[in-house]
């Protein structure tokens, strides 16, 4: 039973460490770089002093339960976006909160989503995160705004809910800039046929970056297809059989890039000697296992989960007003991960006639 007269500062003093270190140890913060010896010392000091947070007393005093709800729209079932949950959980633990996860599906009915949120509200969560599998415009459950809420990887179609999303245009700029820096002046884009913010944002980033480099971005070859391996393969075949095919290709995602690898191989082209390819998403099972490894832009899944949780807790504790974050989503950078799929073009091209006048 915990001693109500003993506080975290007493534990820190007894263990000879900082209050932050005690908090990280007792909340099992996974990213904290604390030696096993120090962890043992902190836990021993806490045990000797009979220190432990009295959740019931805290709840009565603050009218908070220390629970956060996370509605996971399919992300809990995939390693691709699962780092959203890891980032959220780490950030929650660091602040003394616990995460309660409910999995739903993009195909779930509005009534089912409302029921998922209601289930969390019945457990008196202090706030709710709603995380989507990919960047999209979301019809949020009507009861989501009952407590402080933040969307992760999505923006609300109607009601104003604070949100954090990846920088789609900036990520595309980073990808195209990598190809430009390698010397490519004829660059194509394999885009998704999905009508979602990511396909529109990445296309804008692609054309604007080429135009800013003095090339005709509006005339750059663009082929579209389903955002899967087969879609990338078919779109790449069409692009690579143009009269003036590109020497570098930016792909909507890593799955389409994998299809582009296959198309290049069938046409006798070597990556990156004959064709450079850049993906998007950093799906490790794909990007790290293609040969050569795929240079790609990473989605900030962990960072989005951590940022959203920090903002949510700040709102719960009265440190920020989420209303100030509702008009525009917070946008996080998408960094480039360099592997082996980008090299200089085999034959330098003159600026004139850089692009074939063709679009799918």
Q: What is the pLDDT of residue 156?
A: 87
Sheet strands (E) in the chain: 67-73, 98-104, 127-138, 149-156, 162-166, 187-192, 222-225, 248-251, 276-281, 295-298, 330-332, 336-337
What distance in Å separates the CA atoms of residue 67 and residue 65, rounded to the nearest whole number?
Answer: 5
Q: What is the pLDDT of residue 7?
A: 79
Q: What is the pLDDT of residue 159?
A: 65
CA trace torsion 210, 215, 216, 217 (10° rounding)? -10
Q: What is the pLDDT of residue 347?
A: 66
The answer to whether 222 and 233 are in contact (CB under 8 A) is: no
Round to the nearest angstrom and report the end-to-end CA distance of the chain: 69
Which residue is it, tokens 């039973």? 1
* Secondary structure (DSSP) of 256-303: HHHHHHHHHHHTTPPTTTT-EEEEEE--HHHHTTSSSPPEEEEP-HHH
* The two three-digit tokens of residue 47, written as one number: 């045990």
Helices (H), the chain: 8-15, 19-26, 36-48, 55-62, 83-94, 110-122, 168-181, 197-212, 229-240, 254-266, 284-287, 301-316
Q: What is the pLDDT of residue 61?
A: 52
Which residue is it, tokens 């191989």? 265
Q: What is the CA radius of gyration of the chain?
A: 24
Q: Model confidence over 2-38: pLDDT tens digits?
A: 455 677 888 899 999 998 888 888 776 666 788 989 9
CB atoms < 10 A from the CB of 7, how many? 13
Q: What is the pLDDT of residue 20?
A: 85
Q: What is the pLDDT of residue 22?
A: 85
* The two three-digit tokens of residue 309, written as one number: 């949780």
- Local structure of 136: helix, strand or coil: strand
Q: What is the pLDDT of residue 354?
A: 43
What distance in Å separates the CA atoms of residue 165 and residue 325, rounded to the nearest whole number?
Answer: 12
What distance in Å separates the CA atoms of residue 275 and residue 41, rounded to the nearest whole number?
Answer: 56
What distance in Å separates the CA atoms of residue 313 and residue 316, rounded to the nearest whole number?
Answer: 5
Which residue is it, tokens 């480099």? 213
Q: What is the pLDDT of residue 92?
A: 93
Low-confidence ranges of the chain (pLDDT < 70): 1-5, 28-31, 52-63, 76-77, 79-80, 159, 327, 347-360
């Amino acid at each position: 039973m915990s001693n109500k007269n003993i506080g975290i500062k007493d534990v820190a003093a007894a263990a000879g460490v900082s209050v932050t270190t005690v908090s990280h140890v007792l909340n099992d913060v996974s990213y904290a770089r604390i030696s096993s010896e120090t962890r043992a010392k902190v836990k021993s000091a806490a045990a000797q002093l009979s220190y432990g947070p009295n959740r019931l007393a805290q709840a009565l005093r603050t009218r908070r339960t220390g629970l956060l709800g996370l509605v996971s729209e399919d992300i809990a079932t995939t390693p691709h976006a699962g780092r959203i949950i890891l980032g959220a959980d780490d950030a929650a633990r660091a602040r003394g909160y616990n995460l309660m996860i409910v999995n739903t599906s993009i195909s779930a009915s509005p009534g089912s989503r409302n029921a998922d949120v209601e289930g969390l509200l019945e457990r008196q969560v202090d706030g709710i995160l709603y995380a989507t599998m990919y960047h999209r415009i979301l019809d949020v459950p009507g009861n989501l705004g009952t407590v402080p809420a933040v969307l992760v990887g999505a923006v609300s179609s109607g009601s104003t809910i604070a949100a954090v999303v990846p920088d789609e245009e900036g990520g595309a700029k980073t990808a195209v800039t990598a190809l430009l820096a390698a010397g490519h002046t004829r660059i194509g884009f394999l885009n998704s046929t999905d009508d979602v913010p990511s396909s529109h944002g990445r296309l804008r980033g692609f054309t604007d970056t080429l135009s800013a480099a003095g090339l005709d971005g509006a005339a750059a070859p663009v082929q579209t297809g389903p955002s899967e391996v087969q879609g990338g393969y078919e779109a790449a075949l069409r692009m690579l059989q143009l009269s003036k095919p590109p020497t570098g290709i930016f792909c909507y995602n890593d799955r389409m890039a994998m299809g582009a690898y296959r198309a290049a191989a069938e046409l006798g082209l070597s990556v990156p000697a004959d064709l450079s390819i850049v993906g998007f998403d950093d799906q490790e099972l794909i990007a790290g296992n293609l040969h050569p490894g795929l240079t790609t832009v990473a989605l900030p899944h962990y960072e989005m989960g951590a940022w959203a949780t920090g903002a949510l807790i700040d709102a719960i504790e009265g440190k920020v007003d989420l209303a100030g974050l509702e008009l525009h989503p917070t946008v996080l950078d998408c960094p480039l991960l360099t592997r082996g799929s980008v090299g200089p073009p085999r034959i330098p091209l003159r600026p004139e006639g850089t692009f074939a006048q063709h679009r799918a």
